[in-house]
Structure formats: structure tokens, C-alpha cells
Amino acid sequence: MRAKEARSLRKHVDEILAAAPDTNLLLFGDLNDTKNEYPIREIIGLKGAQNYMMDLWLRDSRGEH
């Protein structure tokens, strides 16, 4: 189920970026998987690919992320 959802989301991301390549796109949420599991790897894409999505490690005022 999550793999299908990830493929669908990735397709949507690719469509957005194909229509407007300069779009700054932020995806966030409780994805219930780690970045090493298939659904997240599918969403992120291949490193070095044009539409690769990278992690943003944000920190709050206390240095927590």
C-alpha cells in the first residue's frame, strides 16, 4: 500500500516539476518510514537526478531537529 502511494506521490511531484522546473517544492508530513525504506527512497528519487528531493535538517532555537 505505501509503495503504491509513494509511486503516486512521486509521479505528482514529477508532473509539478515538469510543468514548472524552477518550483521550490517542499514535501512534509508523517511518512511512517525511514529514508532507507522503499517508499521514502521512491519519493526522494535517485541522487543526482534532475528531480531529486533532498532532506532538510531544520533546527529550532534549542538546536533540536
Residue 13, pLDDT score = 95
What are the pLDDT tens digits along the chain (65 aa)? 889 999 999 999 999 999 999 999 999 887 788 888 999 999 999 999 889 998 888 889 998 87
Note down the domain range covering 46.
1-65
Residue pair 40/33 in contact by the 8 Å Cβ criterion? yes
The beta strand positions in the chain, using DSSP E, are none
Q: Which of 26, 32, 33, 31 shows the shortest CA–CA distance to 55?
A: 26
Residue pair 13/51 in contact by the 8 Å Cβ criterion? yes
- Total number of domains constituting the chain: 1
